[in-house]
Chains A and B, each alone.
Chain A
């Protein structure tokens, strides 16, 4: 646990966050690596529980509205939201559609970091997540690797167009379920 992690756990304790909220904060932290697939999956599964669902969405909402300095919060919250739209409960989809504007308005996200690069638009994920990408490769969900070459603006665009295309959304959710079923069937002879 790094210094930042310590501070986060103190904050979690001080603010009395629930387990699932702590998980969301963990998945959307400022650490320079992507949220782990395991963690995102746990959060997505939690959305099937009404109480947890509200807490997850509330925390994601806060992260999405964070300021430019914390652009990683915003970016990872988009990643997490995208994941939950795909495998979380139907409520996530409803909620995301209802609050589409929160994502839509991130299409013009801007933040110039200290090196003068606009993390909103350009730069590759390797730059985003630094060399830790190689070390933490296991942390990054392989299926999403291609979509990780995006930044905040691109990700916001992708999610927006997905939410506006009911047919595609249905199909993608269906594909995920099928994939999970196939995966869980491995070794079930």
Chain B
């Protein structure tokens, strides 16, 4: 519900985007990002956000480009579902971001930016192929039911999700590898926040869906490869979250999920619920 006039809302939005993608090497402030997210729900569109991003000189500076990507990622993730559709039309802009910096760049964000764009494009492709998902991968009963009726489709969906999870894992390693001595790395760490949230959303989704599939199909053998991959990903995430829990700045922003040391059972009926 917005009680601002359209012009005022738009100029405030432009202000928020400007501040979220400012030149300082810090995290995009959550309050500015939140303004953008709330705007997309109020107006059910993100078209203006992209227009503003295009007219602001964010591509002339690596830090600004990187902060724009973090902001865009968060808006896609938590914004109105229409944002995903809008973003799919804006892949060109993302590709431009990747080309805007050559080599390592002056401030060492080159690889980070290119890898981030890759990940975002992959995420968007996933959404294009699976429009029934929202940006945060909330597990919704109807999806699992919808797919269990057709085990092949369920298999496919989980497999694709696992590929996306692997991509996230690869990118977080790039972020960690890019840390610099003698710097608080705040801006780089900021990109880990949506990664932690998103990977956990995917993890919960895969767990719930695999359990549902095990309940419904008696083809436990057919699901063996998925179980194996699930276990591998569990340990990868465990390691990722452990690394994150050592970053004081990150733990001050979000609560890092606490996974059990061993993968949860997918078959046992008395499975503990996910946190």
Contact = CB atoms under 8 A, between A and B. Distances in A.
B1 interface: yes
B31 interface: yes
A70 B77 CA distance: 27
B30 interface: yes
A31 interface: no
A105 B1 contact: no
Given A101-B38, A118-B252, A121-B252, A109 B30 contact: yes
Contacts of A65: 38
Interface string A103-122: 01110111000000010010
B3 A62 contact: yes
Dominant secondary structure at the A interface: helix
B37 A101 contact: yes
Interface string A60-84: 0110010110000000000000000
B41 interface: yes
Given A105-B78, A109-B30, A58 B3 contact: yes
Interface residues of B, number: 15
A108 B38 contact: no
B274 interface: no
A62 B30 CA distance: 18
Contacts of A58: 1, 3
A108 B41 contact: no
B30 A110 contact: yes
A151 to B, nearest CB: 12
B163 interface: no
Given A110-B253, A118-B252, A57 B30 contact: no
Dominant secondary structure at the B interface: helix
Interface in B226-275: 252-254
Contacts of A67: 31
B30 to A, nearest CB: 5
B18 interface: no
Contacts of B38: 65, 101-102, 105
A67 B80 CA distance: 22
A106 B254 CA distance: 12
B117 to A, nearest CB: 23
A163 B41 CA distance: 17
B34 interface: yes
A90 B135 CA distance: 29
A102 B3 CA distance: 14
B34 A57 contact: no
A144 interface: no
Interface string B100-143: 00000000000000000000000000000000000000000000
A106 B3 CA distance: 19
Interface in A75-103: 99, 101-102
Contacts of A62: 3
A108 B1 contact: no
A104 B34 CA distance: 10
Contact of A61 (B1, B31, B193, B254): B1
Interface string A40-67: 0000000000000000011001100101
A108 B30 contact: yes
Contacts of A68: 31
B252 A108 contact: no
Interface string B21-65: 000000001110010011001000000000000000000000000
Interface of B: 1, 3, 29-31, 34, 37-38, 41, 78, 80, 193, 252-254
21 contacts: A57-B1, A58-B1, A61-B1, A62-B3, A65-B38, A67-B31, A68-B31, A101-B41, A101-B78, A101-B80, A102-B41, A105-B34, A105-B38, A105-B78, A106-B34, A108-B193, A108-B254, A109-B30, A110-B29, A110-B30, A110-B31
Given A110-B29, A110-B31, 5 more contacts: A101-B38, A102-B41, A105-B37, A105-B78, A108-B30
